[in-house]
């Protein structure tokens, strides 16, 4: 559905995106992850035809964004970083106007309008001026605008920004629902959001793709050992000695004392070896009870940090 | 296009701009009408239209300053430029919205000559010609304002630059009188034009080779003309300035002369500035 090839955008000397390649299949929800200024918005602006790329092509449904802009724009609903709202209009007036410029027929408009307003939960503010709405409502009106005309592709730039936690969950569920029929690209720097909603994630940093895959595979890929965090009641040195003698344990590290007469230890095991049971028996034999055991699998957050900071060290 | 025009038109009257424009314009037209027609019992209505051209310079920026600059400031241009609407239609919609506010205001002032006609004979055709001329003049002013508004996202700057540009065009007739018409200054002027064009190309494309080429071609043409037909350079500055003299064309209308060439001139003038506006917006997407 969406094919991006060798996408490069330069602002004078500054390179915003460098040679991006990716495709999004029909009905897929793709997450675009990266720190601020990584080039997420730039890429989205290019895909939607708001700005032009310096090099490279974007194809939507087989149409090139540069050659057939109107065909492409007809197929995309776009929620930019700042929702493009005319604040002196009421919500209803605004959505009517968007329907008009998106060339939605009158019959279709009447049918869709109520549905969209119910879906986004803005029906109760339809007669209010947009400038008097709260940030969360403004964001939702912006979202509603993207859905008008029922475009097969949705490009959402940080769709849950400014919403309260309850609304965030609602919008996430909505995106999941929409993902059944639509192809969606969504950007975010909130990681749980991406892992909750997206089937595939692309991590981008300084204009380049640094990793891509499903949230699970990304986490596995970077995890080349299993790590556990332990709190054991016992003296520091002997606990570490016991742990280091267990087969399968690569490294046991002292990790501070947070409770009286206990010690916190970080244990790293060999890849694909479950060291939890041998650990338990070894420590119980030594009479050092385990008070706490936590798996330290890399979260998306850590992957993200690892990838983006590694990048920084190289450059 | 109609959707843009409708929205833009409504926006004028959901903010003070439309009212400020209409109010100020009508107030001053009324003032001049009372002063020159009512108090002097004179039927010469075109004198009023002539007097308010200057007032019009001041109020046009009010009408045009926010047209494009506000869109880029509020980021609403993202909606328009990613909708299946073409850029030309978007700009034309905005332009026609401003022109229609102006036209409606102008139609309100048409009450004055109607009032005059109750008390004596008025030169109907002269006044009609004056109105057509004033409408074309105003539309050209608005086209300039639209163009300036696309250059900046700051409305105040757009208003001031529009005013200064229009003032310059208004003053051209006076400026022309003090300008040298000899051959040497003509040559210097054309060379300066070539340098200006080269700089413009450099800032637009950032390639030195193309800019040098533009300058070379420009100065080549100047040199060629100097040897082939040096008479061209006599009074060339005045003639170039004349292209921008909107007011000179207006005088014909005010005398009731309705000829085709000034109409074509005004329409072309508007078309060029609307086209330039489209190019500026298009170019911003590439840089």
- Closest residue in B to A14 (Cα) is B287
Residue numbers of B between 191 and 210 with CB closer than 8 Å to A: 206
What is A37-84 written as a DSSP string? TSSHHHHHHHHTTSS--SEEEEEETTEETTTSHHHHHHTEEEE-SS--
| Interface contact A84-B76, CB threshold 8 A | yes
Tell me which residue has tokens 């350079």. B233
- What is the interface pTM, i.e. ipTM, of the complex? 0.82
Same domain, A127 and A207: yes
Could you tell me which residues are beta bridge partners of residue A11?
A14
Helix (H) or strand (E) holding A4: strand A2-11
A183 and A78 housed in the same domain: yes
Mean pLDDT, residues A227-241 taken together: 86
Chain A interface test: which of B5, B17, B79 (most A C-beta within 10 Å): B79
Instruction: Answer yes or no: is pLDDT of A297 > 70.
Output: no
A201 lies in the same domain as A251:
no
pLDDT tens string A251-284? 888 888 888 888 888 888 877 777 888 888 988 9
Kindly state the average pLDDT of the residues B113-135: 86
> How would you write A147-169 as a 3-class SS string?
HCCCCCEEEEECCCCCCCHHHHH
Window B:5-34, CB contacts with A under 8 Å: 6-7, 10-11, 14-15
How much is the pLDDT for A132? 93
- pLDDT, average across residues A148-153: 92
What is the least distance, in Å, from the CA of B103 to any CA of chain A? 24
Pick the last residue of a domain from A193, A219, A245.
Answer: A219
Predicted confidence (pLDDT) per residue in A84-104, tens digit: 999 999 999 999 999 999 988
Distance CA B85, CA B87 (A): 7
By Cβ distance, the residue of A52, A74, A98 closest to B285 is A52
Assess whether A213 and A75 both reside in one domain. yes
pLDDT confidence of residue A222:
58
Output the pLDDT for position A315. 39
Q: Does B285 touch chain A (CB under 8 A)?
A: yes
Is residue A310 domain-resident?
no
Domain harbouring A141, CATH code: 3.40.50.300
Same domain, A184 and A233: no
Instruction: Check pLDDT > 60 for residue B74.
Output: yes
State which residues form the domain around A260: 224-296
**Whether the predicted pLDDT of A177 surpasses 50:** yes
pLDDT for B228 beyond 60 = yes
pLDDT at B95 over 50: yes
| pLDDT tens per residue across span B201-211 | 887 667 788 88
In a domain, residue A25? The reply is yes
On the CB side of B146, CA atoms within 13 Å amount to 29
Contact residues on chain A for B78, CB-CB shorter than 8 A: 45, 50, 78, 80, 82, 84
Do A184 and A64 share a structural domain? Answer: yes
Same domain, A69 and A174: yes
A181 and A238, same domain (yes or no): no
Whether B52 has a pLDDT exceeding 90, the answer reads no
Is there a domain that residue A303 lies in? no
pLDDT of B250 > 80? The answer is yes
Do both A266 and A194 map to the same domain?
Answer: no
Residue A270: which CATH number? 3.30.70.1340
Per-residue pLDDT, A301: 66
Determine phi and psi for B110, rounding to 5 degrees. Answer: -65, -15
Residues in A closer than 8 angstroms to B6, CB to CB, are 97, 100
User: What is the average per-residue pLDDT within A239-261?
Assistant: 84
| A23 contacts chain B (CB < 8 A) | no
Radius of gyration of chain A (CA): 25
Q: Could you tell me the pLDDT band of residue B220, with boundaries at 50, 70 and 90?
A: confident
Q: Is B258 on the interface with A (CB under 8 A)?
A: no
Look at residue B100 in the predicted model and tell me its pLDDT: 95
User: Is the pLDDT reported for residue A300 higher than 70?
Assistant: no
Cα separation values, B276 from A183, B86, B163, B198, B267, Å: 37, 15, 18, 18, 14
Q: Give A218's pLDDT tier (boundaries 50, 70, 90).
A: confident
pLDDT of residue A11: 84
Q: Shortest Cα distance from A128 to chain B (angstroms)?
A: 14
Quick one: which of B31, B79, B37, B22 has its CA closest to B52?
B31
Same domain membership, residue A54 and residue A79: yes
Report yes or no on A301 lying in a domain: no
- Statement: residue A149 has pLDDT above 60: yes
pLDDT value at residue A119? 87
Report yes or no on A210 lying in a domain: yes
Q: How far are the Cα atoms of A56, A246, B96 from residue A97, in angstroms, in the given order?
A: 33, 70, 17
Q: What is the mean pLDDT of chain B?
A: 87
Task: Tell me whether residue A87 is in a domain.
Answer: yes
- Closest residue in chain A to residue B75, using alpha carbons only: A84
pLDDT bin (cut points 50, 70, 90) of residue A143 is very high
Banded model confidence at residue A313, pLDDT cuts 50, 70, 90: very low
The mean pLDDT value for A228-243 works out to 87
Is the confidence at residue A60, as pLDDT, over 80? Answer: yes
Does residue A175 sit in the same domain as residue A271? Answer: no
pLDDT digits (tens, 9 = 90+) for A151-170: 999 999 988 887 888 888 88
CB contact A151 to B (< 8 Å): no
With CB atoms and an 8 Å threshold, state whether B7 touches A89: yes
> Is A315 inside any structural domain?
no
Model confidence at A145, in pLDDT bands (50, 70, 90)?
A: very high
Domains in chain A, number: 2
For B76, the closest of A49, A86, A100 (CB atoms) is A86
pLDDT digits (tens, 9 = 90+) for B97-111: 999 999 999 999 989
Residue B234 has pLDDT above 90, yes or no: no
- Boundary of a domain, candidates A219, A242, A274: A219
pLDDT score, position A190: 75
The mean pLDDT of B71-92, rounded to a whole number, is: 91
Least CB-CB distance to B3: which of A11, A78, A97? Answer: A97
pLDDT at A314: 43
- Model confidence band, residue B149 (pLDDT cutoffs 50, 70, 90): very high
Can you give the pTM of this predicted structure? 0.82
User: Mutating which of B75, B83, B90 best tests the A interface, going by the most A Cβ atoms within 10 A?
Assistant: B83
- B87/A contact by beta carbon, under 8 A: no
Q: What is the mean pLDDT of residues B229-244?
A: 79
Please check whether residue A103 lies inside any domain of the structure: yes
Q: Are residues A202 and A103 in the same domain?
A: yes
Give first-to-last CA distance, chain A, whole Å: 34
Give CA–CA dist B181/B187, Å, rounded: 11
């Amino acid at each position: 559905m969406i094919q991006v090839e060798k996408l490069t955008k330069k602002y004078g000397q500054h390179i915003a995106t460098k040679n991006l390649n990716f495709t999004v299949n029909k009905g897929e929800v793709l997450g675009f992850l990266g720190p601020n200024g990584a080039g997420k918005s730039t890429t989205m602006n290019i895909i939607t035809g708001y700005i032009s790329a310096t090099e490279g092509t974007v194809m939507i449904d087989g149409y090139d964004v540069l050659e057939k802009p109107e065909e492409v724009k007809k197929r995309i609903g776009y929620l930019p970083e700042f929702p493009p709202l005319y604040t002196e209009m009421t919500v209803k007036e605004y959505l009517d106007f968007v329907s008009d410029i998106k060339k939605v027929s009158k019959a279709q408009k009447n049918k869709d309008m109520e549905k969209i307003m119910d879906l986004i939960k803005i029906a109760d503010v339809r007669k209010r001026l947009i400038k008097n709405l709260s940030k969360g409502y403004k964001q939702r009106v912006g979202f509603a605008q993207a859905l008008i005309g029922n475009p097969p592709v949705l490009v959402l730039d940080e769709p849950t920004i400014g919403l309260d936690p309850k609304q965030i969950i609602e919008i996430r569920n909505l995106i999941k629902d929409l993902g059944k029929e639509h192809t969606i690209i969504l950007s975010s720097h909130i990681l749980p959001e991406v892992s909750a909603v997206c089937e595939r994630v692309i991590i981008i940093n300084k204009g380049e793709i640094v990793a891509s895959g499903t949230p699970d595979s990304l986490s596995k890929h970077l995890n080349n050992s299993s790590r556990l965090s332990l709190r054991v009641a016992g003296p520091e040195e002997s606990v570490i000695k016991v742990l280091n003698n267990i087969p399968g344990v690569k490294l046991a590290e002292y990790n501070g004392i947070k409770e009286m007469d206990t010690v916190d230890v970080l244990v790293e095991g060999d890849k694909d070896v479950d060291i939890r049971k041998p650990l338990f028996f070894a420590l119980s034999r030594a009479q050092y009870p385990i008070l706490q055991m936590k798996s330290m699998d890399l979260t998306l957050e850590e992957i993200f940090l690892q990838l983006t900071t590694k990048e920084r060290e190289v450059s | 296009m109609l959707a843009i025009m409708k929205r833009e038109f409504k926006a004028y009257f959901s903010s003070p701009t439309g009212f400020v424009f209409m109010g100020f314009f009508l107030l001053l037209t009324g003032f001049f009408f009372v002063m020159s027609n009512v108090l002097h019992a004179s039927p010469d209505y075109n004198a009023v239209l002539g007097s308010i051209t200057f007032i019009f310079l001041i109020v046009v920026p009010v009408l045009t300053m926010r047209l494009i600059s506000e869109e880029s400031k509020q980021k609403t241009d993202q909606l328009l430029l990613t909708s299946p609407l073409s850029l030309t239609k978007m700009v034309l919609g905005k332009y026609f919205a401003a022109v229609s506010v102006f036209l409606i205001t102008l139609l309100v002032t048409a009450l004055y000559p109607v009032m005059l006609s109750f008390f004596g004979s008025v030169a109907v055709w002269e006044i009609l010609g004056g109105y057509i001329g004033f409408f074309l003049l105003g539309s050209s002013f608005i086209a300039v304002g639209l163009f300036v508004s696309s250059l900046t996202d700051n409305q105040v700057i757009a208003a001031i630059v529009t005013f200064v540009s229009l003032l310059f065009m208004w003053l051209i007739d006076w400026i022309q009188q003090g300008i040298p018409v000899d051959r040497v200054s003509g040559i210097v002027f054309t060379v300066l034009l070539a340098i200006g064009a080269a700089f413009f190309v450099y800032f637009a494309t950032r390639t030195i080779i193309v800019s040098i080429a533009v300058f070379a071609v420009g100065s080549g043409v100047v040199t060629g003309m100097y040897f082939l037909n040096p008479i061209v350079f006599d009074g060339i500055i005045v003639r170039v300035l004349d292209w921008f003299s909107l007011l000179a064309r207006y005088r014909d209308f005010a005398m009731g002369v309705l000829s085709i060439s000034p109409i074509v001139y005004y329409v072309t003038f508007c078309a060029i500035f609307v086209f330039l506006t489209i190019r500026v917006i298009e170019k911003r997407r590439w840089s």
